[in-house]
């Protein structure tokens, strides 16, 4: 829980979230954990789509459906109000909220909020300092701008799936929606940069985030491998395109990861496995040579690792400074002593006698710790509270102007 004596870094920042599913809510949750007051505006007819994306569902002590586990992965620390954007009343509420906010996050299709008068150009007239973050599949420009964007499709279009999976099998997506999650994280960085500008100048701006931009950009070394060589990288399964041996290997009782990053580590691995004779062989003595002969390296290493129990080999690697690791299930990950020591799992009471588990934002700040105060809200849970605050802010604004 948050140390009440220290304010989180974004305390006093107000964020309006007109976003659903994952990329926008992920950004909103990070900002909320960092201390921002995030008000999630949902359609009164069911709210965020992910509330229904189960099983599993979180069940209250009285059997109440508290929304799907999926919803709770991205909506901690927020307050929920409802507004039907098709109505003048709903549009007016969002406009009033935006007038008091520092940030607005939305993930409607390009131009989807123009008809409601809730697009950037409309709301900047209401609040010139507003940082308005629009998250779409393809951004505000380009031939695909008007198309709907989905994480799975973007993983394919970006080239990510072309380098993921076994060479002779189907291209594979990641096990989670990484385009959405990376976009949410990049959005937070962009929002914070725009906030600094707004605090210095009083001038807000549009933050244009596109899933395809992000997923393409985070291919990192694989992008550079292509740009430098002119050859598109291919699927290598669990092998690394630039390092060998850097992959999954078998043991007598399961699999583990070897991550040999330099020649000294390779020599030490050879000693562990009784392969001292190959460490000086010019076919294997350098990483460049091992990459060129990766199939033979894999064959020799795997032949020897199969003779070991997994735990014994991991211990030997640790004792000899050879990077290696277990391949955990998610259950095993949460049971890992390092994960426990870092407090990755959190349990948040909802004020109604229920405790909902979650995973903290993986950021630790020594002076301004993040806050973890409440789980994802019920639909419209904070309607009266937020409306009362809004009326008080508007009244104070009117009285301040009349005093001038």
- Active site residues per annotation: 180
The half-sphere exposure of 94 on its side-chain side, counting CA atoms within 13 A, is 28
Q: How far apart are CA 77 and CA 15, in angstroms?
A: 12
Q: How far apart are CA 179 and CA 66, in angstroms?
A: 27
Location of structure tokens 């795997």? 302
Question: What is the SS3 assignment for 349?
Answer: strand
Q: How far apart are CA 189 and CA 181, in angstroms?
A: 13
DSSP states along 186-252: HHHHHHHHHHHHHHHHS--EEEEEEHHHHHHHTTHHHHHHHHHHS------TT--SS-SSEEEEEET
**Burial class of residue 247, CB neighbours in 10 A (0-12, 13-18, 19+):** buried
DSSP states along 3-69: -TTS--TTTT-EEEEE--SSHHHHHHHHHHHTT-EEEEEE-TTT-SGGGG--SSEEE-TTS-EEEEH
Q: How far apart are CA 56 and CA 176, in angstroms?
A: 16
Location of structure tokens 């109604």? 352
Residue partners of 56: CB distance under 8 A and separation at least 6: 68, 69
Question: What is the SS3 assignment for 347?
Answer: strand
């Amino acid at each position: 829980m948050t140390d009440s004596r220290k304010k989180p870094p974004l305390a006093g920042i107000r964020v309006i979230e007109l976003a659903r599913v994952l990329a926008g809510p992920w950004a909103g949750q990070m900002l909320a954990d960092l201390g921002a007051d995030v008000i999630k505006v949902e359609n009164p007819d069911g709210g965020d789509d992910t509330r229904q994306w189960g099983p599993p569902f979180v069940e209250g002590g009285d059997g109440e459906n508290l929304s799907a586990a999926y919803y709770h992965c991205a909506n901690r620390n927020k307050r929920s109000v409802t507004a039907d954007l098709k109505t003048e009343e709903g549009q007016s509420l969002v406009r009033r909220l935006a007038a008091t906010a520092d940030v607005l996050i939305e993930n409607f299709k390009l131009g989807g909020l123009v008809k409601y008068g809730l697009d950037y150009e409309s709301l900047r007239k209401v609040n010139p300092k507003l940082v308005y973050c629009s998250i779409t599949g393809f951004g505000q420009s380009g031939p695909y701008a008007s198309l709907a964007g989905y994480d799975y499709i973007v993983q394919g279009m970006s080239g990510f799936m072309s380098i993921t999976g076994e060479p002779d099998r189907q291209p594979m997506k990641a096990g989670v929606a990484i385009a959405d999650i990376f976009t949410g994280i990049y959005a937070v960085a962009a929002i914070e940069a725009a906030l600094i500008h707004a605090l210095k100048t009083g001038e807000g701006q549009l933050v244009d985030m596109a899933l395809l931009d992000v997923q393409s950009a985070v291919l990192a070394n694989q992008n550079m491998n292509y740009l430098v060589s002119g050859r598109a990288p291919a699927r290598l399964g669990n092998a690394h395109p630039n390092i060998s041996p850097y992959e999954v290997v078998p043991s007598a009782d399961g699999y583990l990861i070897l991550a040999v990053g330099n020649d000294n580590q390779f020599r030490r691995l050879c000693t562990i496995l009784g392969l001292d004779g190959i460490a000086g062989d010019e076919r294997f003595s350098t990483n460049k040579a091992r990459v060129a002969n990766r199939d033979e390296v894999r064959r020799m290493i795997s032949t020897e690792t199969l003779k070991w129990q997994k735990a014994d080999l991991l211990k030997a690697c640790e004792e000899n400074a050879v990077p290696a690791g277990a391949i955990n299930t998610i259950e095993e990950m949460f049971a890992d002593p390092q994960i426990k020591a870092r407090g990755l799992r959190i349990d948040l009471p909802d004020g109604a006698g229920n405790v909902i588990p979650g995973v903290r934002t993986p950021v630790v700040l020594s002076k301004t710790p993040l806050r973890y105060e409440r789980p994802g809200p019920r639909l419209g849970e904070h309607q009266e509270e937020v409306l009362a605050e809004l009326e008080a802010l508007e009244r104070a604004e009117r009285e301040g102007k009349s005093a001038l």
